[in-house]
């Protein structure tokens, strides 16, 4: 486990006014406005990274094709995800939003700002999925985020 990850989690907790627990090992999970957010240490690939992801809910079975098309379009050059990536577990139809960034140079304030923006994006996509459950003829409108994740 990365000491850098644990120190970053403690720094972010202090920045938002919480007392960090003794062990801030990966994964760290919490909820904001009912939206679960998970921060995970990831050392696969090019170095020490942080993976942020949020569960968005279940894709309605009768709307799978519509939702998957929207997700693919949104992922194209991250045009509607603010640099995050939408994905679906095909067995359960559970949708997630994920974002990976390097731990190097990150501090608690910067991470808190990134998480706040990520939660805004994830909340909009969660609302999109909720709206696809409507029986109305008009399809749900996907969110648009032309800006990248906030980096200080």
pLDDT digits (tens, 9 = 90+) for 97-123: 999 999 989 999 999 999 999 999 999
Sheet containing 35-42, strands listed edge to edge, beginning at the edge strand earlier in sequence: 28-32, 35-42, 49-58, 94-102, 85-89
| SS3 (DSSP) at 143 | coil
Q: Report the candidate in 96, 100, 129, 95 with the shortest Cα–Cα distance to residue 114.
A: 100
Residues paired with residue 118 on neighbouring β-strands, in sequence order: none
pLDDT at 146 over 80: no
pLDDT, one tens digit per residue, over 73-101 is 999 888 889 999 999 999 999 999 999 99
Domains with residue ranges and CATH for the chain? 3-132 (3.30.1460.10)
The pLDDT value given to residue 99: 95
Cα–chain-centroid distance for residue 42?
A: 15
Q: pLDDT by residue (tens digit) across 12-35?
A: 999 988 887 767 788 989 888 889
* CA 56 centroid distance within chain: 9
pLDDT of residue 152: 41
SS3 call for 138:
coil
């Amino acid at each position: 486990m990365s000491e850098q990850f644990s120190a970053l989690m403690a720094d972010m907790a202090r920045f938002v006014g919480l007392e960090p627990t003794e062990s801030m090992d990966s994964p760290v999970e919490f909820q904001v406005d009912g939206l679960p957010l998970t921060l995970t240490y990831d050392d696969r690939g090019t170095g020490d990274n942080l993976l942020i992801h949020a569960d968005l809910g279940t894709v309605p079975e009768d709307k799978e094709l519509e939702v998957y098309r929207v997700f693919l379009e949104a992922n194209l050059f991250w045009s509607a995800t603010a640099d995050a990536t939408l994905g679906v577990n095909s067995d359960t139809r559970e949708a997630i939003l994920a974002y990976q960034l390097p731990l190097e140079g990150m501090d608690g304030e910067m991470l808190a700002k990134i998480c706040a923006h990520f939660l805004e994006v994830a909340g909009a996509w969660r609302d999109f999925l909720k709206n696809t459950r409507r029986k109305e003829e008009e399809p749900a409108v996907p969110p648009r985020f032309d800006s990248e994740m906030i980096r200080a």
